[in-house]
Amino acid sequence: MNRLTTPFGSYELARFPEDPRDRLFAWDAADEYLLRHLESGTGERGPVDLAGAGQITVIGDRWGALTTALAAHHPTQITDSSLTRSATMANLDRNGIGTAKGTVTLLTTQDAPPERIDVLLVRVPKSLALLEDQLYRVAPHVHAGTVVVGTGMVKEIHTSTLRLFEKILGPTKTSLAEKKARLIFCTPGNPGATRPATPGPWPLTYVVDKDGGSGAGLTVVNHAGIFCADRLDIGTRFFLQSIPTNTDGARVVDLGCGNGVVGTAVAVADPRAEVIFTDESYQAIASAKATFRANVTHERERADFLVGDGVAMLDPGSVDLILCNPPFHSHQATTDATALRMFAQSRKALRPGGELWVVANRHMGYHTHLRRLFGNSEVAASEPKFVVLRAVKRREQPRGA
């Protein structure tokens, strides 16, 4: 936990789930730059009178830093991440703010935006597609007088980023860089008068080709922000050629499910299987639901869709099989922290004799972590770039696990 000092106050902030070993802050220079601008103005742009501004909407807040700092002005946060949502609530609470009595409104990317937006603050996401989708969604709710300010690190803001603001909202300029961060200034016209509520291209749909293993022939639906949205990525393709599908009515988890093609492949192959799709992304769970419903036609649909932190919400010892293609990025940072948390959660959720199957790039070296946690790890399939690993939960865990 660290303290962020802003023109609006000083706040103790932490990422979620909170980990005392995590040295990464819950904010960065882009958040600080935006908050300074709102108070004092930047270059030719003057400060924003938030007290009389009307409805303030914050898109893409990473860990709730912007929402917490602006809580006195009753902002609405829109996020695709359940971890961001949890981090925001925790950070509001630890600073004595909370979310009661309309102090802050928390929405997801699957919710309708506020009817009228007077100040729109955009933290540029890693996914250009997610930015496009979100700008299209809010476009009908801004007006000619809406103040639109984006922020991001220089490496996150590209010509394509600015073109999206220009195309969807209106004329766009950028600020000078400060501490490797930059602001985006957009002047909207009156897009709500001419554009329908959701005119963007999302979701995208495709059919898995014959080389897609147990996923061959499945219709896949991808909402904006899902990795490799227009085709089956090579890691998942290799995984689908390797996973067990004769599950004999098992309780199976598609962990970090993305578009849900892995779990759907299991459900199609074994109608008796109970499949649980979990992901921290609201866009991912919406995609997984759509993919499942496009392919599973048997009457008894034994499936659950859970937004949250991995399988932490499941009862210990309640799962037979977990299938996982873990991410190795957290926003712009390359890290194995998310994958290792998934592995530890999986060990708790599996029954004795239950199995965790993981596909990953060879260089991640996950076999060593699985051996430490489970006491075993074997290669189920391999190729030059990817490896599929299988770990079994023993009845007696190794010492120190």
Q: Is 22 within a domain? A: yes
Q: Are residues 249 and 180 in the same domain?
A: no
- Within 8 A by CB and 6+ apart from 21, the residues are none
Return the number of other C-beta atoms located less than 10 Å from residue 231's C-beta: 13
**Cis, peptide link before residue 203, omega less than 30° from 0:** yes
Instruction: Give the structural domain span for 10.
Output: 2-193
Q: Are residues 133 and 105 in the same domain?
A: yes
Q: Among residues 193, 212, 247, which one ends one of the domains?
A: 193
Predicted model pTM: 0.92
Tokens of 398: 């190794």
Burial of 149 (0-12, 13-18, 19+ CB in 10 A): buried
Q: Residues 401, 376: contact at Cβ < 8 Å? A: no
156-200 pLDDT, tens digit per residue, is: 999 999 999 999 999 999 999 999 999 999 999 755 444 545 567
What domain count does the chain have? 2
pLDDT in tens, the chain (401 residues): 589 999 999 999 999 988 777 778 999 999 999 999 999 876 567 778 888 889 999 999 999 999 999 999 999 999 999 999 999 999 999 999 976 667 899 999 999 999 999 999 999 999 999 999 999 999 999 999 999 999 999 999 999 999 999 999 999 999 999 999 999 999 997 554 445 455 678 999 999 999 899 999 999 999 999 998 889 999 999 999 999 988 999 999 999 999 999 999 999 999 999 999 999 999 999 999 999 999 998 755 689 999 999 999 999 999 999 999 998 644 444 567 889 999 999 999 999 999 999 999 988 989 999 999 999 999 999 999 999 999 999 976 554 54
Q: Is 198 within a domain? A: no
Q: Are residues 188 and 220 in the same domain?
A: no
Q: Are residues 90 and 218 in the same domain?
A: no
Q: Is 399 within a domain? A: no
Q: Are residues 150 and 225 in the same domain?
A: no
- Within 8 A by CB and 6+ apart from 51, the residues are 73
Tokens of 95: 């600073």
Q: Are residues 237 and 309 in the same domain?
A: yes
pLDDT computed for residue 43 by the predictor: 58
Q: Is 401 within a domain? A: no
- CATH (domain of 41): 3.40.50.150
pLDDT computed for residue 116 by the predictor: 97
> Of 280, 231, 227, 277, which Cα lies nearest the Cα of 251?
277
Q: Is 199 within a domain? A: no
Q: Are residues 57 and 118 in the same domain?
A: yes
Q: Is 38 within a domain? A: yes
Q: Residues 125, 60: contact at Cβ < 8 Å? A: yes
3-class DSSP assignment, residue 41: coil
Q: Is 397 within a domain? A: no
Please tell me the distance from the alpha carbon of residue 146 to that of residue 185, in angstroms, as a whole number.
11
3-class DSSP assignment, residue 18: coil
Which residue carries 């869709």 as its tokens? Answer: 305
